[in-house]
Structure 1
């Protein structure tokens, strides 16, 4: 008996979903929900909202599964849906991006040096959670999700230079937060 690859199994599950198989939908949900929740959480910074975004994204994905053409991995396709749903949730909160500022700030990792890397990671995560929505979204999309500034601009409806500016200001604000004496992990 021939062993199927992960990709073959994935395509098989997707084909079953397309034919309306609810068990296959649940399998697909189990395969991707944790990773997609983490994407949503990094963008929304709110557990309940991240859960809502996740559910909304999966409903949208299942409704639009016929448009998935396997040109990219299913995970990449789904991630775009999750990112857009999370950004829409942020927009519903009526968040506004901070005006553009072209100051250049060095990378956060280069400017904050600590010996205990686990503690440092926790400190950075906590500081990211304290960023204003606009900063956090751009920083998360760029650093954590791997989008470039042109893609971020397209997704958020801003210019590439505004994305770069937001990213720069986010790093600066992140450093300020981490250097505050009252900042606690």
Structure 2
């Protein structure tokens, strides 16, 4: 893999140079931003969640020697921090913000326009992701369907496919990497086309 985050397996974050710290955070941010902003539907909130998650990762990094396990643990931390944020927001959902009561028509229009733009972007991302999934090997498509659409455990998947859990984990990892690579390539291409 050769990621910057892997430096944390052998070195404390605080002793790294500021340039190395910045590179690690940027890699972390690029990796998780789109997922978190998709889930929380708010740029500022996504940045807050990412900062909190990054601090937790840096402070509590497990003693692992495998970079794949480090990334898996990091994903769990980010996911849990995002869910915690969503739970807090859900509790406050019914509270009325006094400032929003006095929002002007132009502010309401701007907020509505941003929401519409975000929905369009989410739809475009979903279409790009579906396209990427359709181009995978049938074996990888089947694994992804069993894991995320049918929500089977690794053990259940292994039984269904008559193989071992380790094989399922390995192939699912390969499938995710293939999707990630295709999505990144296609999304960056479509970003360039949209900006022209």
Higher relative contact order (CA 8 A, sep 6+): 1
| Structure with a larger share of its residues in helix | 2
TM-score scaled by length of structure 1: 0.44
TM-score normalised per structure 2: 0.42
Computing the radius of gyration from Cα coordinates, the structure with the larger value is 2
